[in-house]
Amino acid sequence: MITIDGTYGEGGGQILRSALTLALVTGKPFRIDNIRGGRAKPGLLRQHLTCVQAAARIGDATVDGAALGSTTLLFQPKAVSGGDYTFSIGSAGSTTLVLQTVLLPLALAGAVSQLVLGGGTHNQSAPPFDFLQHAFLPLLRRMGFVASAKLRRAGFYPAGGGEIEVSIFPPDTLRPLVLEERGSRTGQRADAVVANLPWDIARREVATVGQMLNWSAEDLHARSDAQARGPGNVVLITLEHENVTEVITAFGQLGKTAEQVASEAAQEAKRYLATPAPVGPHLADQLLLPMTLAAGGRFVTTPLTPHATTNIAVIRQFLDIAITVTPAGNGLYAVTVPGAG
């Protein structure tokens, strides 16, 4: 039985999600104590509980401690079964994080799976749907994992009510991923989306991004989402290069002006473009598990975040592999992942 301390490293929900994914793929049971022990409100929230319930359902797992607020969980999986599944968080919790928990185990289950996930699709501290669609899934396809996603309805905090549909297919061949250079810029765009809020907010946001990044009007897109069930606002900056696409986000909040929201996104875009690293800090964290479970590979990134180093530690508890991080010059680092697939 693998024992995990939920306070380790960044001490958040990612420890649990990665452990669930790895347990489903390896068949190894685990116990985690002090779940989300590094957070102001420890224990399972609705999003994390839905991850557990989704993992238990696809893996026919025996679970003890699956309750809101629980700080200890025992998870004993059996074989993963592909199929049609619907998972609803019941709040604005992140659907993309639930998806990332079960995506790889279902891809390796040997059958086609169709998922419908309900909850938040554009959340702070979680990859938004646009990142999933344009940055993450294309790289999974390069590794051999085949999945497509469709946004049925956007869901913002606090109302939620969003929905995504995902198709997952068994891979033919798993391949290593090598991302050492971005390549030339092939596209760029900024999108500002408002839901149940004045359209002028989005107009001001793209104008600010355009001014800060010196982009032309054809790169700037302001739009209103009439289908979302509650108010929401997000700025998305998409930077397309030959070898990788980065999606940068900033979210509207009470007390924050449109210009402040847009400036946050534009400043992060500037930081990304100021280095030659093809893989940004958030993508680096999220590539570790699929690369490990595929054929490995190597990527160059900026200094790893606590999320990434914590993820590496969790992977090592389930798999006897050594992920190495070495200086690559100019403040960048090369991450080499031996594949277990």
Residue percentage of the chain with pLDDT more than 70: 100
Task: Confirm if 121 and 37 have CB atoms less than 8 A apart.
Answer: no
Q: Look up residue 318 and give its DSSP letter.
A: H
Report how far residue 169's alpha carbon sits from residue 111's, in angstroms, rounded to the nearest whole number. Answer: 7
pLDDT on residue 91: 87
pTM above the 0.75 mark? Answer: yes
CA–CA distances in Å: residue 68 to residues 5, 64, 89: 19, 12, 12
Rounded CA separation 158/184 (Å): 39
Q: Nearest-5° angle of CA 56, CA 60, CA 61?
A: 55
Count CB neighbours of 110 within 10 A: 12
Taking only the tens place, the pLDDT of each residue in 147-197 is 999 999 999 999 999 999 999 999 999 999 999 999 999 999 999 999 999
- Read off φ and ψ for residue 154, nearest 5 degrees: -75, 145
Q: Specify whether the CB–CB gap between 12 and 39 falls below 8 A.
A: yes
Catalytic residue among 48, 122, 282, 307: 307
β-strand pairing of 185-195 with 220-225: parallel
322-341: per-residue pLDDT in tens?
Answer: 999 999 999 999 999 998 86
CA–CA separation, 174 vs 41, rounded Å? 39
Alpha-helical segments (H) within the chain: 13-26, 46-58, 95-107, 129-131, 137-143, 199-213, 258-273, 281-293, 306-318
Residue 245 has pLDDT above 80, yes or no: yes
Q: How confident is the model at residue 208 (pLDDT cuts 50, 70, 90)?
A: very high
- The full set of domains in the chain, from first to last, is 1-79 (3.30.110), 81-173 (3.65.10.20), 185-273 (3.30.360.20), 287-341 (no CATH)
pLDDT in tens, 34-68: 999 999 999 999 999 999 999 999 999 999 999 99
At 248, which amino acid appears?
Answer: I
Please provide the DSSP assignment of 175-224 as one string: --EEES---SEEEEEEEEEEESS-HHHHHHHHHHHHHHHT--GGGEEEEE
Q: Are 245 and 135 in contact (CB under 8 A)?
A: yes
* Mean per-residue pLDDT, 107-134: 96
Query: What is the chain's mean pLDDT, rounded?
Result: 97
Each residue's pLDDT tens digit, 268-314: 999 999 999 999 999 999 999 999 999 999 999 999 999 999 999 99
- CA-closest candidate to residue 42, choices 79, 69, 78, 81: 69
CA distance 54 to 141: 23
327, 333 Cβ separation under 8 angstroms: yes
**Per-residue pLDDT at 317:** 97
**Annotated catalytic residue 307:** yes
Q: How far apart are CA 207 and CA 216, in angstroms?
A: 10
Contact 52, 76 (CB under 8 A): no
Position 125 scores a pLDDT of 85
Q: If you ran DSSP here, which 8-state letter would residue 111 be given?
A: S
Mapping DSSP to helix (H, G, I), strand (E, B) and coil, where does residue 95 land?
helix
Cα separation values, 194 from 93, 116, 134, 190, 217, Å: 19, 24, 20, 13, 19
Peptide bond into 327 cis (omega under 30): no
List beta partners, residue 162. Answer: 119
